[in-house]
Amino acid sequence: MAIAVLGLQWGDEGKGKITHLLAKDADMVVRFNGGPNAGHTVIDRGVKFGTHLIPAGAFYPNTISVLASGMVIDFEVLREEWDMLSRHLGWQPRLLIAENAHIIMPYHRALEELEGSGKHFGTTRRGIAPAYRDKAAKVGIRVGDLLRQDIAKQRLERRLDLLKREWPNSEEVQSLDAGVLLEEQLSFAQPLLPSIGNATSAIDNALEAADRAVMFEGAQGALLDVDHGSYPFVTSSSTTYAGLSNSIGISNPDIDRRLGVFKGYVTRVGAGPFPTRVSGELAERLRTIGGEFGVTTGRPRDCGWLDLVALRYTVRLNDCTGLAITKLDVLSGLDEVKVCRSYRLDGESIENFPLAADVLEGCEPEYETVPGWREPISEIREFSGLPSQVMGYIAFIEREVGVPVEIVSVGPEPEATMMRA
């Protein structure tokens, strides 16, 4: 049995909570994309964590957490998380790190600053894009290279030679030394070196075993996908179900349940178009009540009404079999809730999501208003106990996207979650 948990908006949908809950029933949890630019908020045993690399399976002693080859890994961040969780849990999380995943080196973070990509695209400045670019250019350093130090040093020397020629006036770049960088990476990775191996084979074996449950944990959201998102204001990896297969190295994996996660409204952090963005008092209300600040950067998120044009697109893109709606409690106290059903572009109404950011920037939302609810819902634990307006809002979304809502979340705590399936 296998399930994929995928974000359907611009990330920050509350996937951390959903993956944490579902991971307790999994033998293996696989993170298949991205790096420490993604952050999942998890409440475990009453303690709140912001994780960036370690999959949700790390919170359970009998679950193996896999960092797959589609990821880029910052060993300083990974070691910090591994140590932190080991202290909290009282045991060391069981990790398997793909030998063919790529490493984020310190110069990748420096490049984001030198090139100004963080300022222009609103990136997290974690070195993600430069690391993926090195991967494509065949000058990257892979996780398995740390097990062959002579090879790792040769590849580092080659990369630094190219880098120093490209940035002759940067003191930071010119001072880089391959031997020092390698020793630094080995110091961070030392206790994790035995966890490096063939992740593809392990995932394939787990999928083939009839008695094993596997969960695939996506990072970020579908609208940030490097191919299918609001390009160029996207991340540098495949964030959708469409990209999962290549990211784990298995053609057509048998994943019978594909759960898409979305908020009852929409948020976006960083630069890029956002058709349903609101401002003023409403934006501040959603941001404050919803705690809409980036897990990785702490930046305030822009907030807006639910966008069904985008949601229909990402549900199809991920081939969702079910949905999880989060943060419905944040909408409590509103007399009415707006939902974008279409866009107006150049005087015409359109229902298809534009793939170019400049086109999306010119789209104006066409709203439908549905009844809101005044009463708080964060203490409700049974779906039947929700106000009729809330159930009506969920039913409206289900009709529009053609996929059932299986999980309803009304608060950050694990118990504030209702399973309908």
Choose the catalytic residue: 20, 25, 40, 177. Answer: 40
Helical residues (DSSP H) of 167-240, grouped into ranges: 171-174, 178-189, 199-208
The conformation of residue 353, written as its DSSP 8-state character, comes to P
Contacts of 12 (CB under 8 A, 6+ apart): 221, 263, 267, 269, 292, 294, 295, 301
If DSSP codes are grouped into helix, strand and coil, which group holds residue 412?
coil
d(CA 69, CA 255): 18
- Contact criterion met (CB below 8 Å) for 115 and 141: no
**Of residues 12, 302, 307, 329, which has the active-site annotation?**
12
Q: Are 98 and 67 in contact (CB under 8 A)?
A: yes
Q: Give the list of residues 6+ apart from residue 66 with CB closer than 8 angstroms, or none.
A: 28, 29, 30, 31, 55, 95, 96, 97, 98, 199, 202, 203
Question: Residue with structure tokens 């090195």?
Answer: 134
Is residue 12 part of the annotated active site? The answer reads yes
CA 231 to chain CA centroid, nearest Å: 17
Active-site residue 40, yes or no? Answer: yes
CB atoms within 10 A of CB 366: 15
CB 135 within 8 A of CB 105: no
Q: Are 265 and 341 in contact (CB under 8 A)?
A: no
Q: Which amino acid is at 213?
A: A
Classify the phi-psi angles of 252: left when phi > 0, otherwise alpha if psi is within -120 to 50, otherwise beta: left
Distance CA 254, CA 316 (A): 18
Residues ≥6 apart with Cβ < 8 Å to 91 = 61
Is the backbone peptide bond immediately before 232 cis, with ω within 30 degrees of 0? yes
Which residue numbers are catalytic? Answer: 12, 40
